[in-house]
Amino acid sequence: MIRAEGASLVFQDHGRAVAACREISMEVRPGEFLGILGPSGSGKSSLLYLLSGLRVPTAGRILYQDRPLESLSDEERARIRLREFGFVFQLPHLLGYLTSVENVVVANPSPDAEEEAVRLLTEIGLGDHLHRRPHELSGGQRQRVCVARALAGGRRIIFADEPTAALDHHSGLRVVQQLARHRGEGALVMVTHDPSMLEEADRILHLADGQIEREELRSPSKIEAP
């Protein structure tokens, strides 16, 4: 679905070059939950920004459905980011004056957006909190509203950057389960420094110093015994 080919991201920091990603080649496969695991500063967020087109690689390229992102027009790239990609970040960013339902609808122009928002929020366990505003929700509940927002409109690929970092273990696992359940024909790409949040991942890329140190295949363990 998405492929990185020798993708690098080098920042200029006060005249010093900092390589956040160094010639990374990898792909995101249909239907998978891909975990990206590594310590702080290993380049996880940078890789997520490259894959999702939020940043342009300083070398190499990123292909979305076999088309290099840089060959697309700005409009086309924006359309893909808005319509096909969903984002969940470390801290839940919600509009304070909107309810849960409104915060989900705001990102989704389709005519049945409200119906879908109610369905997603209910599935995610917020059926009793549909019309509350963010300050009336716990941190975990707010993050679940963000999850519903990222999934609304049938977005195909969800990018999550440390979505559990501000949550306790139990709420974190719940958020991950909800993200993972919806990957369907799309994919979930989740960055974390906490391996316990990747129990359900199909594949984990271990990142160190801007490079993929190793790939860990996990899906066989998920095949249920007859």
Ligand X SMILES: Nc1ncnc2c1ncn2[C@@H]1O[C@H](COP(=O)(O)OP(=O)(O)O)[C@@H](O)[C@H]1O
Q: Which residues bind Mg ion (CB under 5 A)?
A: 45
Which residues partner with 95 through β-bridges? none
Which residues contact ligand X by CB under 6 A? 11, 13, 18, 20, 38, 40-46
- Which of Mg ion, ligand X, none does residue 69 bind (CB under 5 to 8 Å by kind)? none
- Which of ligand X, Mg ion, none does residue 52 bind (CB under 5 to 8 Å by kind)? none
Reduced to 3 states (helix: H, G, I; strand: E, B; else coil), residue 23 is strand
132 or 193: CB nearest Mg ion: 193
- Which of Mg ion, ligand X, none does residue 20 bind (CB under 5 to 8 Å by kind)? ligand X
- Which of Mg ion, ligand X, none does residue 221 bind (CB under 5 to 8 Å by kind)? none
Minimum CB distance to ligand X, residue 87 (Å): 14
40 or 221: CB nearest ligand X: 40
**Biggest alpha carbon–alpha carbon distance for the chain:** 60
Cα–Cα distance between 142 and 79 in angstroms, integer? 26
44 or 203: CB nearest ligand X: 44
Cβ-based neighbours of 36, under 8 Å, separated by 6 or more: 44, 47, 48, 189, 190, 191, 192, 204, 205, 207
Tell me the backbone φ, ψ of residue 6, rounded to 5 degrees.
55, 40
Minimum CB distance to ligand X, residue 107 (Å): 24
Minimum CB distance to ligand X, residue 72 (Å): 24
209-213: Cβ within 8 A, 24+ apart: 209/22, 209/42, 209/43, 210/19, 210/20, 210/21, 210/22, 210/24, 210/42, 210/43, 210/46, 211/21, 211/22, 211/23, 211/24, 211/43, 212/24, 212/26, 213/38
Minimum CB distance to Mg ion, residue 182 (Å): 23
What would you report as the CA-atom Rg of the chain, rounded to the nearest whole angstrom? 18
Minimum CB distance to ligand X, residue 41 (Å): 4
- Which of Mg ion, ligand X, none does residue 11 bind (CB under 5 to 8 Å by kind)? ligand X
181 or 206: CB nearest ligand X: 206
42 or 178: CB nearest ligand X: 42
- Which of ligand X, Mg ion, none does residue 99 bind (CB under 5 to 8 Å by kind)? none
52 or 108: CB nearest Mg ion: 52
What angle (nearest 5°) sits at the alpha carbon of residue 76, between those of residues 161 and 178? Answer: 30
Minimum CB distance to ligand X, residue 77 (Å): 20
Locate 128 and state its tokens. 């009793």
